[in-house]
């Protein structure tokens, strides 16, 4: 069960009491030390996955300490960092922000570990974390298949208009008129920017369509080349791709890879699929591309300013973000709310690796060469 923390008249002590009563683990049945963890941005899948994992951990006599995880629906940020008083570690997700100020507050409160239950850590200031001696771990790979397969699902929904077609058929409209025409993927030129773990799997699926695969990455992946991918320059991938996938992380160098300057370089009528991070796309440029027909459709599982909206039900509320409203009104847009990772296999792996990261932290294994440590030696 997720616990909602709210600032207000309640004292922090009362709120923390409420939190602890609804958490899991650390029941004091034995004398073992307890690692207290506060899990931010909790939705039901998170507590449903972690509660049994914590129970199993605590029931295992091999474990030298107990784990206790409390859950809050609050996002981590400079204000909500104060909720972590009394916890040694916190667990965060893709839209939690651990900037320098937040890390300073966490450190002051005695938090020494951020366990990111995701691969990307673009919202964690790793330099600040290093300065405050904070361990930051992540789940480097949970199911690259989940994300690659979702990227293809988005492509098919954009190209073959499957959501629109299904909605129409459910309303007994069986006509093929008005915008259902798609194209064969077979024979098209498909570009993949970022050929890492997810990108490589995607490349293999694309080759299965019988498409021509072109790639761009700062490092060339030999497996992708062997399979039939051809590396080209950034301008070439923009110019030649009928379909373009963004599969690279959000970094200063990749922020707004799609921007106003890139629009004239794109093949007219191309489709863009982004399952990586919203910040790879300048939303205003995307809207311009859609309105001018340069971009015929976009499949997006991520959105630049998603943190205000994603993982929450806004169906009965007014969306205040005009760019998001504009995107939702564009016929060529298929948008999902950051769910590409969301398969049973991925959730199991996220839970398992996060529990291992927390265990390793408590056992003192915080080395920079720990495979899940986000802070590289030379950061
Ligand atoms: P990865 O680290 O294995 O691969 C990333 C690739 O991007 C690497 O090959 C790297 O060299 C390349 N890259 C780095 N800088 C680049 C640049 N400037 N231009 C082009 N390529 C560049 O990561 P991954 O596991 O394949 O994940 C990719 C991204 O997918 C993650 O960073 C994350 O943002 C996103 N992701 C999204 C979801 C979701 O649910 N939507 C889930 C998991 C991951």
Q: Report the pLDDT value the prediction gives residue 30, as an integer from 0 to 100.
A: 61
Of 306, 330, 345, 366, the catalytic one is: 306
* CA 136 to mean position of chain CA atoms: 17
Q: Report the pLDDT value the prediction gives residue 75, as an integer from 0 to 100.
A: 93
Does the beta carbon of 123 sit less than 6 angstroms from any atom of ligand 1? no
Of 75, 117, 138, 277, the catalytic one is: 277
pLDDT by residue, tens only, the chain of 379 residues = 334 433 333 333 334 433 443 566 765 556 789 999 999 999 999 999 999 999 999 999 999 999 999 999 999 999 999 999 999 999 999 889 999 999 999 999 999 999 999 987 889 999 999 999 999 999 988 889 999 999 999 999 999 999 999 999 999 999 998 889 999 999 999 999 999 999 999 999 999 999 999 999 999 999 999 999 999 999 999 999 999 999 999 999 999 999 999 999 999 999 999 999 999 999 999 999 999 999 999 999 999 999 989 998 999 999 999 999 999 999 999 999 999 999 999 999 999 999 999 999 999 887 766 778 888 766 5
Q: Report the pLDDT value the prediction gives residue 24, as an integer from 0 to 100.
A: 67
- The pairing of strands 24-25 and 65-71 is antiparallel
Q: Report the pLDDT value the prediction gives residue 23, as an integer from 0 to 100.
A: 60
Cα separation, 20 vs 272, in Å, equals 45
Does the beta carbon of 140 sit less than 6 angstroms from any atom of ligand 1? no
338 is catalytic: yes
Cα separation, 182 vs 289, in Å, equals 19
Q: Apex CA 257: angle with CA 280 and CA 324, to 5°?
A: 45
CA of 217 to the centre of ligand 1 (A): 10
Q: Which of 123, 138, 147, 250 best tests ligand 1's pocket when mutated (most atoms within 8 Å of CB)?
A: 147
277 is catalytic: yes
Q: Report the pLDDT value the prediction gives residue 5, as an integer from 0 to 100.
A: 39
Does the beta carbon of 196 sit less than 6 angstroms from any atom of ligand 1? yes
Does the beta carbon of 57 sit less than 6 angstroms from any atom of ligand 1? no
And the tokens for 33?
Answer: 């030390």
> Pick from 220, 215, 247, 253: which is nearest to 234 by CA?
215
| ipTM value for the complex | 0.98
370 is catalytic: no
Which is the closest atom of ligand 1 to the Cα of 195?
9
The pTM assigned to this predicted structure is 0.87
What DSSP string describes 126-147? HHHHHHTT-EEE--S-S-HHHH
Backbone angles phi, psi at 52, to 5 degrees: -65, -30
Cα separation, 350 vs 46, in Å, equals 10
């Amino acid at each position: 069960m997720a616990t909602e923390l709210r600032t207000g008249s309640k004292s922090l002590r009362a709120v923390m009491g409420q939190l602890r009563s609804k958490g899991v683990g650390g029941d004091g049945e034995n004398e073992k030390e307890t690692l207290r963890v506060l899990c931010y941005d909790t939705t039901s899948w998170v507590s449903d996955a972690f509660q049994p994992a914590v129970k199993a951990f605590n029931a295992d006599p091999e474990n030298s300490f107990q784990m206790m995880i409390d859950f809050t629906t609050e996002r981590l940020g400079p204000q909500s960092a104060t909720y972590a008083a009394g916890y040694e570690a916190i667990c965060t997700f893709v839209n939690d922000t651990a900037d320098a100020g937040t890390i300073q507050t966490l450190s002051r409160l005695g938090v020494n570990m951020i366990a990111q239950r995701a691969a990307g850590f673009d919202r964690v200031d790793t330099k600040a974390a290093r300065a405050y001696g904070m361990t930051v771990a992540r789940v480097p790979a949970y199911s690259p298949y989940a994300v690659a397969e979702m990227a293809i699902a988005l492509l098919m929904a954009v190209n073959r208009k499957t959501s629109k077609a299904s909605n129409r058929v459910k309303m007994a409209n069986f006509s093929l008129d008005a915008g259902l025409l798609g194209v064969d993927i077979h024979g098209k030129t498909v570009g993949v920017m970022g050929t890492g773990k997810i990108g490589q799997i995607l490349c293999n699926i694309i080759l299965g369509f019988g498409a021509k695969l072109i790639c761009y990455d700062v490092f060339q992946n030999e497996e992708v080349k062997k399979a039939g991918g051809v590396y080209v320059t950034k301008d070439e991938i923009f110019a030649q791709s009928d379909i373009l996938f963004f599969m690279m992380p959000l970094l200063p160098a990749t922020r707004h890879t799609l921007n106003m300057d890139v629009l004239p370089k794109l093949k007219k009528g191309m489709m863009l699929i982004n399952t990586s991070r919203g910040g790879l796309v300048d939303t205003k440029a995307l809207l311009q591309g859609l309105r001018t027909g340069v971009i015929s459709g976009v499949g997006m599982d991520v959105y630049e300013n998603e943190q205000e909206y994603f993982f929450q039900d806004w169906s009965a509320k007014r969306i205040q973000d005009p760019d998001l409203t504009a995107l939702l009104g564009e016929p060529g847009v298929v948008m999902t709310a950051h769910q590409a990772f969301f398969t049973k296999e991925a959730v199991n792996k996220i839970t398992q690796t996060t529990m291992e990261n927390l265990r390793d932290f408590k056992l003192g294994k915080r080395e920079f060469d720990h495979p899940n440590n986000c802070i590289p030696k030379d950061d």
